[in-house]
Structure 1
Amino acid sequence: MLMTDPMLAELWQKARAALGAQFEQRAPSAVFLEGSIAEGFGNERSDVDFVAIVDSGLEPATMPYILFIDGRRVEVRLLSPARLRRELAQVRAALGKGRRAVARLSWNLLERCQRFIGALPIDNPALIETLQAALGREALCEAVALWFEDFARQTGRYAVAMFALGEPDYARAWIRTAAFHAAKSHVARLGECYMSPKWLSLQLERAAVDAGRVGRLWGLLHAPREHGAESGFLAAGVALIREFGVNGVSLMADNVLIGPGKDTTTWQIGERVHVLRGSDVFALDDEAAEAWRAITFDTPCTAIASRGDAQAASRQRALIADFSRLGLVSLRWKGSGEIHARQQATSTPVSRAPLISIDGARLAGGRASGAQLLPMPAGRFAEAGLEMIWANIGLENAREDAQGALQRGQWKVLEYALQRMMQTACMVTLGAHGVTPQSTMEEATLDAIRLLPLDAALIDGIRELEQCSIGSARDAQRYVALADELAQRLRDLGGDPRFPASFDTASGWRGTIHAAYDWINLGAHLHARFPQTAHGGRGTAEEARDLLASSST
């Protein structure tokens, strides 16, 4: 038994006892602690993450059992040694093929391997060390560094594309993401390869990264929004990601080319131009149709959007940016193919009022019919509901992170958590209005401001929190209170002012499961696309069902 903290050792014994039925037929071969506490970053509100290695001939689900013991949220995950060997081998094989192969690894797989390599053994350390040797910490850190390096490069290029298309706020959001992940790549090369983004500030400290460089990073992340200063801001971001060792991003807008969207076709019916994206149909007005016809694929976006006078060119850029967000066109980097920055083919609200609630569709008022046809097909309805539920859970998770960081005085962790509270709260409201696929975290607040009727005070508060810099307990308490207030206002706009406190108590988690249960079953029945995590990982219907089953204990 290697666990030196008696509180954690006692939690494991209680967790094992609570899951006695699960372990009767498959006794653990080894047990370890993973996650933020094992990595030395956790606080009083952090989950306690145990993993039991079980070898029963069957591969257990990756979703954890959720328990609440002695005031702590405890997760117990089961993994087979065969799965661990297979996934560690996948990472090693990708490393052998080079950067692009590593970049194609899923976040979920790479993070699982990283958490295992960084684990703290509890029982049978010899087996754990034998399994870890299939990859090793040095190779794992190299894989994590390459993964974040590629992501920083792609998001940096996407920021340049947004700037070239006249979308400075989107460019600012993405260059911040690029700099943040370039720093994650840098610390991974220094041995700090824990993948969770929220602990970057502590990783920078522990890796003793140059203080000047760290200061420039925080300066970029907290810089106020200033009209007319976007070009200098973007240049500073590109320079910073290069300092962190990420190349392949330049301010040359001619590098950004327009390519075809996936599964898109153009159809003119009478005088109206329609663009089909899979099973979705977009009808273009005269101005949009003219901009659409002007697109020549594999041409720099600056050449396409520079025709006519300044006002017409500006409008063309805005329309092309919209086409990109809708997935009707793709953005490419000259000589390097499509830019991959987690962006998705999203949509606009399908109604002026909230359409979707935790309890299903909202009935439109003023209609005599007892059965109302929704203005979206079944699959998109299920996806929007799942996205809204997932965003609510994300908001509760961010609130939990914020409370833990507030108690421990981890101000940079708190800043990150408050930004996520705003982003996920906006995603709740967008989902309630039928927007699916959801915006990325980087674009969630911008899309909410662009697409929803938010008042000026709410917009100002969101922007203040997204660039807040906390230096004292007084600052922290004020910003936490502001985040709670704004998150509540956004939930009110979505029509569901209350959601269970998912991470506080067993009853709160049961309430969350109850809220999600029917949506998950409908999504699984329709083979719907399940929500994406903040980092790009995506769950499956099977995992979601496993989560429901595992949480019944």
Structure 2
Amino acid sequence: MILSEDHLQNLFDKTLPHLHAAAHCGVVLEGSIAEGFGNSSSDIDFLLIADSDADLPTMPSLLFLDGRRVEVRTRSVRQLAEQFSAVTTAAQGDPGAVPEDLLNRCQRLLRSFPLRNPELVAKVKGLMSFDDFQATAREWWAHHARQSMRYALVLRELGQEEEAAAWTEAGLLQAVKSWAAGRGETYLEPKWLPLQLDRLGAHPLSARYRTLASLDASGLDPAGYLTEGARLLAELGVAGAAPGSEQITVARADGVTTWQTGDRVHVVRGKQDVFVLGERAARAWRSLVFGQPLNRVLAAADASGAPDAGPLIARFLRFGLVKAAWKGDGPIVPAMPLAAPSGAVTPPPSTAQPLVAVGGAVVGDAEAIALLPVPARRFSAAAMILVWSNVLVENAREDLVGALDREQWSVAELSVRRMLRFALRGVLSAYGVNPLPPDSEVVRALSLLPAGAHTDGICAQARRLETLTIDSVAQGSAALTALDGFVALIRQATGAHSFPSSFGSSDGWRQTLEIGYDWLRLGAYLDADLPLDEASDLLSSGGAQPHVATT
């Protein structure tokens, strides 16, 4: 150790007055200094062991004594016994499933240096043999090395060579940690790996690892680095990650569903996140055949009009929309222990405005895989109201035309207000406003919208239309013309310019039902509030009118 036992005992004596209930505890030094590593910046890590079955806090206390940062943790004998038991149980099934913090805590205790009550310390260390722990640590690191190298092979197949090289580097570090653990060097923190290899002495495998520790150090190109890395991985004792095009398959990701409205493809992740796909990304997504080898999936994408789909599929993979799997061995789940947690990446949300159109979410370029900036449920609710608002606009216009025909000026004015407010419901919904404000506030609620050419014009016209009066044929005709122009402006801004005339013909009504049904299906899946009670009947009938016989 870099510090003498006398120095450590003296430092603990100074620590003791700051602690409560430390009498009769076993005390050990753990961590890098106990391992024989460490430096002047290393913490002094004391673990106090209470001979009891108490639930002691997991959080450490930090003290600053004699120019050192002192970390104090406490565990009871029962808690430590449960830690060792949990590692043993997990290792009997899948060593890779052992939580890294649990493995780390057990390793630090087993390799700790006793300072007080050595009999109690020996009793606790005897709960797990170091040989058993060593075997578990070796297999744990091997599992992660295998997964990292498999993921590197996936990325290479998808044309992501630099990322593949980065995961090759991770896999090699994990593989040499596995190799070192099998020789007694079980300390988990990778930063001390060079000293661990030094302590093991000269060996051809550790020398080869040092030359391949990174892409830059190797002097190879990314493709050559992966090839040499896979070879060294096997030599270090990690099997099951040899290159082979038929080994890697594409698999479904749990909780990911596809919803198409018109030509727009949406992918919902975990009923929370909605990704909207650009045209080329959508073709690549629709070409996926789950369970097939990755090389065949790429060939199918080429054949379906999505050539060079590798980068797009790589993004699907990173965002957790699909999985890669190793034939016969389940999903490939790479991780870098003692680093940032692994899992699906969530990209920055899309900034497209408006957010949703009648035909689907607004998307930028053809290769976009854009995360919408609102939760899935709110998105679907807003989209359903957008569609229904357009239906109500059509209905209110019919009422207005009828009132003008009969010269019912007061009724006409009410119809103008209804038509205006229904149209504004659609505008607000297109920008993701949900729930909506009351109809009496929708004109003033336009202040919620971002400034821009479309919204500024809509706001100005809405304020004028809100005060329209009708008491003559000429005023009625002018009002209808103004409202038709206003609705056209809104529909252009919200992607509803081709919305059918819902009540003009049976064909128009059929098209309206088809548009509504697409959104209702998504809304029902997400448990979103439906815009009206009758919508549930449209769902149960599969999009058909409930009383009309189909041919």
Of 223, 227, 235 in structure 2, the residue corresponding to residue 231 of structure 1 is: 223
Contact 2:165–2:215 (Cα < 8 Å) also in 1: no
Structure 1 residue 93 displacement after superposition: 3.2
Aligned partner of 2:28 among 8, 15, 32: 32
Per-residue deviation, 1:312 = 7.0
- Structure 2 CA distance for partners of 1:57 and 1:37, relative to 1, 3 Å: same
Secondary structure at the aligned position of 1:305 is classed as helix
| Residues 228 and 42 (structure 1), Cα distance of their counterparts in 2 relative to 1, 3 Å cut | closer
- What residue number does 2:516 align with? none
Q: Which amino acid aligns with 2:212?
A: L
Give the C-alpha shift of residue 17 in structure 1: 1.3
Q: Answer whether contact 2:302 2:308 (CA < 8 A) is retained.
A: no
Task: Indicate the SS of the match to 1:306.
Answer: helix
Structure whose CA Rg is larger: 2
**Other-structure match for 1:294:** 287
Select which of 76, 86, 92 maps to 1:90.
86
1:149 and 1:185 in contact (8 A); partners too:
yes
SS in 1 for 2:242: coil
Corresponding residue for 1:518? Answer: none
Q: Which residue of 1 aligns with 2:120?
A: 127
2:9 is aligned to: 9
Structure 2 match to 1:112: 105
Determine whether 1:346 maps to 2:338. Answer: no
For residue 187 of structure 1, what is the amino acid of its counterpart? A
Instruction: Check the 8 A contact 2:211/2:217 in 1, yes or no.
Output: no
CA distance in 2, matches of 1:44, 1:6: 17
1:51 Cα deviation after fit: 0.4
Q: In structure 2, what is the Cα distance between the partners aligned to 1:64 and 1:122? A: 18
CA change 1:78–1:351 in 2 (3 A) is farther
Amino acid of the structure 1 residue aligned with 2:5: D
- Asked if the contact 1:260–1:329 (Cα under 8 Å) also holds between the matched residues in 2, the reply is yes
Shift of residue 314 of structure 1? 5.9
In structure 1, stretches of 5+ residues that fail to align are 353-373, 379-553
Q: How far has the Cα of 1:134 moved from its partner?
A: 1.5
SS of the residue 1:251 aligns to: coil
Q: Equivalents in 2 of 1:293, 1:228: separation in Å?
A: 37
* Residue identity opposite 1:335 in structure 2: G
Match among 40, 43, 61 for residue 65 of structure 1:
61
* Mapping for residues 162-241 of structure 1, pairs under 5 Å: 162-210=155-203, 212-224=204-216, 229-241=221-233
Residue in structure 1 matched with residue 246 of structure 2 by the alignment: 254
Partner deviation per Cα, 1:1-57 (whole Å, 9 max, x = no partner): xx95322222212222122xx32xx63521100000000011110011000012454
Q: Indicate conservation of the 8 Å contact 1:306/1:313, yes or no.
A: no
Supply the distance in 2 between the matched residues of 1:144 and 1:13 (Cα, whole angstroms).
Answer: 34
- What is residue 43 of structure 2 aligned with on the other side? 47
Cα-Cα RMSD? 2.5
Describe the superposition over 1:388-436 as per-residue Cα deviations: whole angstroms up to 9, x where unpaired. xxxxxxxxxxxxxxxxxxxxxxxxxxxxxxxxxxxxxxxxxxxxxxxxx
Distance of aligned partners of 1:313 and 1:214 in 2 relative to their CA distance in 1, 3 Å threshold = farther
Deviation larger for 173-182 or 334-343: 334-343
Cα distance in 1 for partners of 2:306, 2:8 equals 62
Structure 2 match to 1:149: 142
Preserved CA contact (<8 Å) 2:273 2:375: no
Identify the residue that residue 245 of structure 1 maps to in structure 2. Answer: 237
- Report Cα offsets for 1:197-254 as digits up to 9, x if no partner: 11111111111251x3223212222333999933221110011111111111111132
**In structure 1, which of residues 254, 264, 280 is the aligned counterpart of residue 256 of structure 2?**
264
Judge conservation of contact 2:267–2:275 (CA < 8 Å) in 1: yes
**Conserved 8 A contact 2:284-2:309:** yes
**Cα displacement (A) at 1:94:** 3.7
Letter in 1 for 2:346: S
CA–CA separation in structure 2 for the residues paired with 1:340 and 1:249: 13
Contact 2:49 2:77 in 1 (8 A): yes
> CA 1:311–1:288 in 2, change beyond 3 Å: closer, same or farther?
same
- Paired with 1:115 and 1:150, the residues of 2 have a C-alpha distance of 21
- Which of 322, 326, 338 aligns to 1:333? It is 326
Find the aligned partners of 1:375 and 1:267 in 2 and give their Cα distance: 17
**2: distance between equivalents of 1:152 and 1:194?**
16
SS in 1 for 2:225: helix
Choose 72-81 or 130-139, whichever is displaced more: 130-139
How much identity, in percent, do the aligned residues show?
A: 38
User: 1:467 corresponds to which residue?
Assistant: none
Alignment-derived partner of residue 542 in structure 2 = none
Deviations 1:247-298 (A, max 9, x none): 1111113211100112111111222110000100001111111111101111
Q: TM-score if structure 2 supplies the norm length?
A: 0.60
Contact 1:166 1:314 in 2 (8 A): no
Contact 2:287 2:300 survives alignment (8 Å): no
Q: Secondary structure at the match of 2:62?
A: strand
1:72 and 1:203 mapped to 2: Cα distance? 24
Distance 1:226 1:192, change over 3 A: closer
Pair 1:139–1:247, CA change in 2 (3 A) = same
* 342-351 vs 152-161, greater mean Cα deviation: 342-351
CA distance in 2, matches of 1:158, 1:238: 12
Q: Name 1:500's counterpart in structure 2.
A: none
> CA distance change for structure 1 residues 227 and 6 in 2, over 3 Å: closer, same or farther?
closer
Instruction: Tell me the distance in 2 between the aligned counterparts of 1:266 and 1:308.
Output: 17
1:63/1:314 CA distance change after superposition, 3 Å: farther
For this pair of structures, how many residues does the alignment match? 347
What CA distance in whole angstroms lies between the structure 2 residues aligned with 1:4 and 1:221?
Answer: 34
Matched residue type, 2:274: V
Alignment TM-score, normalising by the size of structure 1: 0.59
Structure 1 Cα separation of the partners of residues 219 and 196 of structure 2:
33
Are the counterparts in 2 of residues 161 and 253 from structure 1 also a CA contact under 8 Å? Answer: no
Change (3 A) 1:64 1:228: closer
- Alpha-carbon distance in 1 for matches of 2:216, 2:241: 23
Task: Give the corresponding residue for 2:457.
Answer: none
SS at 1:111's partner residue?
helix
Post-superposition Cα deviations, 1:337-379, rounded to whole Å, max 9, x if no partner, equal: 0012124111212378xxxxxxxxxxxxxxxxxxxxx95669x
Secondary structure at the counterpart of residue 275 of structure 1: strand
State the AA in 2 paired with 1:173. Answer: A
Q: Secondary structure at the match of 1:68?
A: strand
Contact 2:287-2:301 at 8 Å conserved across structures: no
Q: What is the CA–CA distance in structure 1 between the aligned matches of 2:210 and 2:199, rounded to whole Å?
A: 16
Letter in 2 for 1:297: F
